[in-house]
Amino acid sequence: MTLRVNGELAEVAFAPHKTLLEVLREDMGLTGTKHGCELGECGTCAVLVNGQPVLSCLALTVALEGHEITTIEGMAQGPDLHPLQTAFADLGAAQCGYCTPGILLTAQALLEQVPRPSLEQIQQALAGNLCRCTGYIKIYEAVELAAARMAGEPAEPRKESVYGWE
């Protein structure tokens, strides 16, 4: 079967019952997509299909021929990180880093639709992605920071985000 992953066509052979999560990780070596439950409960395995977040553990790969699949490996453009990736690094928004790929891609989909989301919109968009390390705070701040930078503002993390309140 031919899959379109991160803008490239790839011929992949796999058992027809395999989920997108399994094919990406096991047959294509794209282990950047993680899994936390394999039951569609935690959002860890989210990838983009035609720009929309999809839980790859619930997606049947054979149904995805001709669709544009984006994984975390396809997020950076060449040597340049996506502004979301840079903002996550700036704010330590990836602690253990395990939920990070799914959250980054979900946030990317949000910013495509809503370039300057409110906090509530960020919370709604990420409500299906569990993170046990950060309490989500640094993630919100990183999404806001990336959105500002993508809008062309020379934004830096807020002092309170980095050092706490005086």
Residues that bind another protein (CB under 8 A): 25-26, 29-39, 41-42, 44, 71-73, 75-76, 81, 85-86, 88-101, 104, 122-124, 126-138, 140, 157, 159, 161-166
Residue closer to another protein by CB (options 3, 32) is: 32
Q: What is the closest distance, in whole angstroms, from the C-beta atom of residue 64 to another protein in the complex?
A: 19
CA angle 138, 143, 144 (to 5 degrees): 95
| Selection from 35, 39, 22 nearest residue 12 by Cα | 22
166 vs 163: CA distance, rounded Å? 8
For residue 43, give both structure tokens.
């959002």
Residue closer to another protein by CB (options 32, 53) is: 32
Q: What is the closest distance, in whole angstroms, from the C-beta atom of residue 80 to another protein in the complex?
A: 11
Residue closer to another protein by CB (options 44, 59) is: 44
For residue 4, give both structure tokens.
């379109």
93 vs 135: CA distance, rounded Å? 10
